[in-house]
Structure 1
Amino acid sequence: MAVFKPKFITFDCYGTLINFDMAGAASAIFADRVSAEEMLAFTTDFARYRMDEVLGAWKPYPDVVCQAIARTCKKWGVEYKDSDGAGIMEACATWGPHPDVPAGLAKVAEAFPLVLLSNTMNDLITHHVPRLGAPIHRVFTAEQAQSYKPRMRGFEYMLDELGCGPEDILHVSSSLRYDLMTCHDMGIKNKVWVNRGHDPANPAYGYTEIKDIGGLPGVVGL
């Protein structure tokens, strides 16, 4: 079969490209309030509440983080301080790409325009795009779309802005729940799952699996 040549390769940014270590940031901040033995369960709940917080009307991402960590603390009976959410957001701005990202992105950027669709704020993502090591054609944020993934609105906004349809893109993400399930429902047939251990596999959603971005050039015949 012929290799699919998309008009654009679109990416989730945080987790997929940027090593978005929310668990590490929360672990450092709450080390004095949550035991080491319980920290994994605590940060897992934090991730689940972040997902829940983005399912409604759009709000600034710092509000998503602060409300999610406050809800986690309430569940665990742990003291919450206003500085906790702010500390996590400060850590966000410092994170860089996974080691495999710059070379893999640079290779595919030689042949395809690269696009980001990210659950972030306009000012936050400016810290991260220059660290990716490849030219990025367009960047779309939840702030621009006024909607977070996994809702469809962000994908619709991106496709409208690019002037293309679901059949024209290859979407790449490490998250089935935030990205690839929605892509499936929207008829985006060409999908790549970067298996970074964020979600369990579910081949029913029709993706090509790679272990890191180094495998992406092979997917598009480079």
Structure 2
Amino acid sequence: MTLPGNRPSWLTFDCYGTLIQWDEGLLAAMNEILSAKGGDIDQPAFIAVYDRYEHELEEQRPHRSFKQVTALALELAMKEFGLPFDGADADLLTSSIGRMPPFPEVVATLGKLKAAGFRLAIISNTDDAIIAGNIAQLGGIIDRVITAEQAEAYKPSPQIFRHAWKTLGIDMNDLVHICASPHLDLVAARELGFRAIWVDRGTGRKPLSDYRPNEIVPTLDKVPAIFAAKGWM
């Protein structure tokens, strides 16, 4: 597939895993937390359990903040592994998220897109306070940040995307969404019909069987060439 339609005025981005090194940062944070507990703990298995609880909690009502979600998901995962939980463990995890750095090519690529006249927004499953540290590492390039805290909904719920578009004052035909998560962002793209570029960073996350994004790239710095070929840059 290729990108249909006219040149968008806005580019919207998933944050963690797309712009920010989520997997690497989460592994480092969990390593620090679990190392303090002692014993031989299978970290990938633990993270898989943590992820399962996180996604389940995000779907529940009433809406919980991401800080609450991460704390409870961590507590439930530790309980499942027979590990003692302390509130300091949750504080370490959330503070680590805000310190996770961007991928090496991200800041320069965002700068190119901004210089080409696109406005840039992030739509993220997080809280304002948590993502602030990540945004500070992006060089002042991002125009707007829309969070699950603001929308009171987590991706892939249409609610967070519609809230974002209302906030930006656009409809979905005036944007291209760039993301790394097939089971959050691409699910929403399939359901709502907005244009999407999947950044497949080789994490092993599988594409949806019944949906193909408009473009697939291995890293963010491949996006400008796609836009140039469309005459958008």
Code of the residue aligned with 2:137 in structure 1: it is R
- The corresponding residue for 1:17 is 19
Deviation at 1:125?
2.0
- The corresponding residue for 2:152 is 146
- The corresponding residue for 2:7 is 5
- The corresponding residue for 1:40 is 44
What SS does the aligned partner of 2:35 have? coil
Deviation at 1:11?
0.3
What SS does the aligned partner of 2:178 have? strand
Residues 1:159 and 2:165 aligned together: yes
After superposition, give the CA deviation of every residue in 1:81-126 in whole Å (9 maximum; x if it has no partner): 2211111112122221111101111111122111111112122222
What SS does the aligned partner of 2:188 have? helix
Structure 2's unaligned 5+ residue stretches are none
- The corresponding residue for 1:217 is 224
Which has the larger share of helix?
2
Q: Measure, in 2, the Cα distance between the counterparts of 1:2 and 1:201.
A: 18
After superposition, give the CA deviation of every residue in 1:33-63 in whole Å (9 maximum; x if it has no partner): 3655611111121122111111123212111
C-alpha contact 1:26 1:88 (8 A) present in aligned 2: yes
Q: Measure, in 1, the Cα distance between the counterparts of 2:156 and 2:84.
A: 30
Aligned length: 221
- The corresponding residue for 2:64 is 59
Q: Compare 126-135 and 66-75 and name the one that shifted more.
A: 126-135
Q: Measure, in 2, the Cα distance between the counterparts of 1:2 and 1:198.
A: 24
Q: Compare 168-177 and 26-35 and name the one that shifted more.
A: 26-35
Residues 1:78 and 2:78 aligned together: no
Q: Measure, in 2, the Cα distance between the counterparts of 1:82 and 1:175.
A: 29
Q: Measure, in 2, the Cα distance between the counterparts of 1:142 and 1:198.
A: 25
C-alpha contact 1:103 1:133 (8 A) present in aligned 2: no
CA 1:145–1:35: 2 relative to 1, 3 Å: same
- The corresponding residue for 2:103 is 98
Q: Measure, in 1, the Cα distance between the counterparts of 2:88 and 2:3.
A: 53
After superposition, give the CA deviation of every residue in 1:179-212 in whole Å (9 maximum; x if it has no partner): 1111210111x11111121611336422111111
Q: Measure, in 2, the Cα distance between the counterparts of 1:23 and 1:91.
A: 10
Q: Measure, in 1, the Cα distance between the counterparts of 2:111 and 2:133.
A: 19
% identity of equivalent residues: 28
CA 1:198–1:169: 2 relative to 1, 3 Å: farther
Residues 1:31 and 2:35 aligned together: yes
What SS does the aligned partner of 1:206 have? coil
Q: Measure, in 2, the Cα distance between the counterparts of 1:49 and 1:216.
A: 33
